[in-house]
Amino acid sequence: MILITGSTGLIGSAACFFYLKENQPVVGIDNDLRSYFFGKNGSNKWKEKILKKDKNYKHFSIDIRNKKKIFYIFEKYKKKIKSIIHTAAQPSHDWAAKEPFTDFEVNANGTLNLLEAFRTYCPEASFVFTSTNKVYGDRPNYLPLKEKKLRYELSKKHTFYKRGINETMSLDQTTHSIFGSSKVSADILVQEYGRYFNLKTVTFRGGCLTGENHSGAQLHGFLSFLVKSIIHDKNYSIFGYKGKQVRDNIHSTDVISAFHEFIKRPKPGGKVYNIGGGRDNSCSILEAISLIEKISGKKSKYKILKSNRIGDHIWWISDNSKFKKDYPKWNVNVSLNQSLKQMVEFELKNK
């Protein structure tokens, strides 16, 4: 049995569908707090309805901040839980500043509740945590970057991060944003439960996680919301950096395949991996707009704002080398173009 928090979200639902297809029983925890964060368009209730149709899926509409109810679920299934995949979060850089207490209580306290329930009731299981590249704060912005026509790029003279940013980058003395700070807290807790208690925990620091099942909103889900805006003829605002800020993009199914590789051969001690699409799947916002226009045959309506988000990255590409070394069977299989085509087709079908 796999227990999945945030089970109706982009990564959580992808994990549910993957393990249900493998005929594994799945316990899902998700109270659609996303609709509170981002409104009706950000809700994932539609995926909950799909998941509930599978007899191997059991859903609990529970808030991870509720320690008593979380402990109840873990005690109920303690003899069956093989792995916990923790994807539930307040995921927005911008939204966190509106309600810092809510952000921290969901991201940090919620993670602590799950870790302690895991340690108490099923310590032989593995614990997979979906962290974020935002734990590095704005440290990547101090790399030597060159401005090009459509994107910022790392200077050719700088070879250390040529493949992308790896796990050696410092988290200290950098502006994280409120969201980044709460995720750092959760990130370190997951590591510490692995190291201090010798549990099989892993932290995946994701780049831009994407896919057609993303309920993208303005404050979260960059590619998904951009595709929706273009397909539905909506205005789109780019926050600073001339639209040349770069992200590497990884499809949710490739994220889940990485999780699965770890779950098959979990290692104790709080492993940490950067995970993303890598250089081949990277693009700036301007480049993404051009690709979506070409795929969809529609024109975008965007404006570039002067102000950037506080602590936001100018350039982020993940170096997957560490994970590939430990789990050589894993690969990024879905290209950026394939992801965008799937997202465009999904939106056109549901327009």
Under DSSP, the state recorded for 279 is G
On whether the CB atoms of residues 8 and 45 are closer than 8 A, the answer is: yes
**Across 309-323, average pLDDT:** 94
Per the structure, the complete domain to which residue 272 belongs is given by 2-349
For 124-181, give the DSSP string.
TSEEEEEEEGGGGTTGGGGS-EEE-SS-EEE-TT--TTTT-B-TTS--SSS--HHHHH
pLDDT at 234 over 70: yes
Strand locations in the chain (E): 2-5, 26-29, 57-60, 83-86, 126-132, 145-147, 152-154, 200-206, 208-210, 235-239, 246-251, 271-275, 282-284, 301-305
Q: How many domains does the chain have?
A: 1
Average pLDDT score over the chain? 95
pLDDT, tens digit (0-9, with 9 covering 90-100), for 156-166: 888 899 999 99
Q: CATH number for the domain including 198? A: 3.40.50.720
Q: Dihedral of CA 183/186/188/190: which sign?
A: negative
Please state at what angle helix 336-349 crosses helix 285-296, rounded to 10 degrees: 50
Could you give the CA distance from residue 325 to residue 342 in angstroms, rounded to a whole number?
30
Count CB-CB contacts under 10 A for residue 52.
12
pLDDT tens per residue across span 106-128: 999 999 999 999 999 999 999 99
Single out the residue of 182, 169, 129 nearest to residue 316, CA to CA: 169
Q: Worst-scoring range by mean pLDDT, 107-116, 203-212, 253-262?
A: 203-212
Enumerate residues 6+ apart whose C-beta is below 8 A from 297. none
Q: Is 94 helix (H, G, I), strand (E, B) or coil?
A: helix
| CA neighbor of 137 nearest in space, from 18, 267, 314 | 314
Per-residue model confidence as pLDDT tens digits over 88-102 = 999 998 899 999 999
Classify 282 as helix, strand or coil.
Answer: strand
Tell whether the model's pLDDT for residue 311 goes beyond 90.
no
